[in-house]
Amino acid sequence: MQRIHPLEGDTVRVGLLGFGTVGSSFAEVLAAQAEAGVRITRVFNRGVERKRLHAKATFVPRDAVWTERVEEVLGAADVDVVVELMGGLDPAEGWLRSALQAGKHVVTANKQLIAFRGGELFALAAERGVQLLYGAAVAGGVPVIPGVAQGLCGDEVTRISGILNGTCNFILSSMETGAEYGEALSRAQAAGYAEADPSADVDGLDARAKLCILARLALHAEIDPEEIPAETIARIAAVDFAYAKELGCTLRQVSRAELQDGMVSASVGPMLAPRSSPIAWSHGTQNMVVTSGRFGGDVVFSGQGAGGHPTAVAVLSDVRAIAEKSAQVRLSARRMKVKGDAVAPHYLRFVVADEPGIVAAIAGVLARHGVNIDCLLQHRGYPAERLPFVITTEPCPSSTVRRAVAEMAAMRFMVQPPLCLRMLIVNDTERD
């Protein structure tokens, strides 16, 4: 049993780093639970006077100390738990190391920090006899972290699949009704789901970090986030949803990791998901995680993955676990290499200036690379100078089909580079 640093008194005192969307929501959620046994004693933020005028600052106790000096929180005698809600690797890593060294418990929602530096920080927490909890780092208010760590630690999980970014899910489910990518992105930004620079979300970097965290917990695999191939959703168009519907599918940003021959096959990017798969059922900012276990079969976690309140619920749950002196389940993990290739059917969408022989030329390239065509789809009503059509392939390695696509991209009739997406099969996400 891990030795836990003792808490003094009946109330857990929190030093809050960050009073933005999640930090202010944490104060609000905490204020609604008078019996929680948790109290904010200090708040750190830049421009602290401005933050004290925030409408939700009224949820912070009047006697709490507001400061622009982080040291006044990390070393304070009236702080038992440091709650870090500012994000990023630097300076957050140094702050959390200081807090742990000082014997403070730490709760964070920082997925990048846990993905890239988690192993070192967990070791430091164990050495100092304190807890480092991060339930809000993946899927917002969905309790997937404690669910996997505690609820599934008795199983042998071999695969994780899911939707780990609420912003991308909002964009793609908006496009499902006919919106183009730019319009759907603007809606997400107006609703506060997407940043002015949305690249971390739409290019898969956010989901990639979360996938690493889940792989450490569920697969006991320590993997480098930068080894996981991540593809953008920015090239998806409304026409792809029309073709996907004809194929009995929809499009989602899918994160996937599976143990294979001592390695982890992992990827993040837009994929076609069959409508019979749970992954296709998630809309708006919902997150969904499907774990596949050797003995327990599939388990599905689903709920709101974005927004201040859902994330604040997960943060407060971690703080209350510390207040109740709940010991973490310690799971071992070993370093593994990432295999980005996978055998699957593929969806190829072309936009061409029409002329005779196009299909024969594309089929010839695919044949030379050993890729078999499954079907060809073409809808009427598009101009001949910009004609979209789709070819799906039989299962083949992603690396093989991408080499073929790279060769086809240079053909004179291509108006834009072909789009190549993996197609999930039902047993990719559900065991029979």
Q: Which positions are annotated as active-site residues?
A: 210
Bridge partners, 391 (sequence order): 348, 376
Q: Which helix (H) or strand (E) is 126 found in, with range?
A: helix 111-128
Using CA atoms, how far residue 118 sits from 22, 78, 160, 201, 226, in Å, is 21, 26, 19, 21, 15
Regarding beta strands 338-339 and 65-67, do their DSSP bridges make them parallel or antiparallel, or are they unpaired? unpaired
For residue 117, the surrounding DSSP H or E stretch is helix 111-128
Residues pairing with 371 in the sheet:
none
Which two three-digit tokens encode residue 391? 């070819």
Whole-number Å distance between alpha carbons of 147 and 144: 5
Q: How far apart are CA 66 and CA 57, in angstroms?
A: 10
Q: In this structure, what are the phi and psi dihedrals at residue 238, rounded to the nearest 5 degrees?
A: -60, -35
266, 257 Cβ separation under 8 angstroms: yes
Q: How far apart are CA 226 and CA 205, in angstroms?
A: 9
Q: SS3 for 144? A: helix
β-strand pairing of 286-293 with 263-274:
unpaired
Report the SS3 class of residue 61.
coil
Q: φ and ψ at 235, to 5 degrees?
A: -90, -5
